Structure 1
């Protein structure tokens, strides 16, 4: 067994910089955990429906071919209604800024308070593949075809008429290019 506990697999070496000298380094709570805990370096209170961008006090340098994904903590979701707005957030290998976490309080009645060094998210590092796109006139067929949201049934699946209506009336909100650029790397 290797040091990572998997045959033939050593841990990926990731460089980390503490931007706050007192912040604990991200750590795995239990053997076999996929994500290591990220904490906030600032106290914050979120009223119902409010969101905030919380700093973690760390920046990392991932090796090429890897990315880190900021996932929500299930305990915060279950107990407090806290979610991550852009879950999972993506930290690209070339990003060297502070990892910041966009949290939202979905509880309709109660505020949520975070104290300095409270665990707010988990970081999962994964190997990622590069792809080369080849434009074609048509894609090959598949069993699913163009079936999208709710197409496999399950809880509250729409009937065929409602799906057809939804497909004909796609509603969306456009994000201005400069707004998207403001959030690059987060």
Structure 2
């Protein structure tokens, strides 16, 4: 069974901008589009090198309990222009009902303009398991890796 994500538009949003959707039958992520505020639509939204901005989508979502929405970068924007997410993947929890904004960063050398309706990120709906955490008086079980952390596999 496919989960249903309920969506509403912000009062100011352009309802002609497509809802998140999968561009191909095998897509894991649904493309999310910029839905700029009326005062920004004509000139677009400029992101300068190393600047972080929240780009509005004009949407609020209701994600089913037991799922999260992961916001991920679009590979083409990252490769061609250096546009990515500084916290990838971003997580939208099932109990969040505020505006859906996409946090972008420009790792490129040139300013980049997000136009109204541009595809800016992908949304992946994923199941969530909440664990229980408990203190133990016993030691942790031994493994072959042990306490080996960053770089411990031998590859630099």
Question: What TM-score, normalized by structure 1, do the two folds share?
Answer: 0.74
Among candidates 35, 53, 56, match of residue 41 of structure 1: 35
Deviation >2 Å, runs of 4+? none
Q: Which residue of 1 is the match for residue 143 of structure 2?
A: 142
Question: What TM-score, normalized by structure 2, do the two folds share?
Answer: 0.87
**Deviation string, structure 1 residues 53-98 (Cα, Å, up to 9, x no partner):** 1111111111111111000111110000111011111000000111
Task: Name the larger-Rg structure.
Answer: 1
SS at match of 2:126: strand
* Aligned positions of 1:17-166 closer than 5 A: 17-19=8-10, 20=13, 21-42=15-36, 43-107=44-108, 109-137=109-137, 138-154=139-155, 157=156
Structure 1 stretches lacking a partner, 5+ long: 1-9, 158-186
Alpha-carbon distance in structure 2 between the residues aligned to 1:86 and 1:79: 19
For residues 44 and 153 of structure 1, do their structure 2 counterparts lie closer, same or farther at Cα, with a shift above 3 Å needed?
Answer: farther
Among candidates 6, 16, 31, match of residue 7 of structure 2: 16
Q: Relative contact order (alpha carbons < 8 A, sep ≥ 6): 1 or 2 greater?
A: 2
Alpha-carbon distance in structure 1 between the residues aligned to 2:26 and 2:121: 17
Report deviation, 1:145.
1.7
Deviates more, 1:10-19 or 1:29-38: 10-19
| Richer in helix (by share) | 1
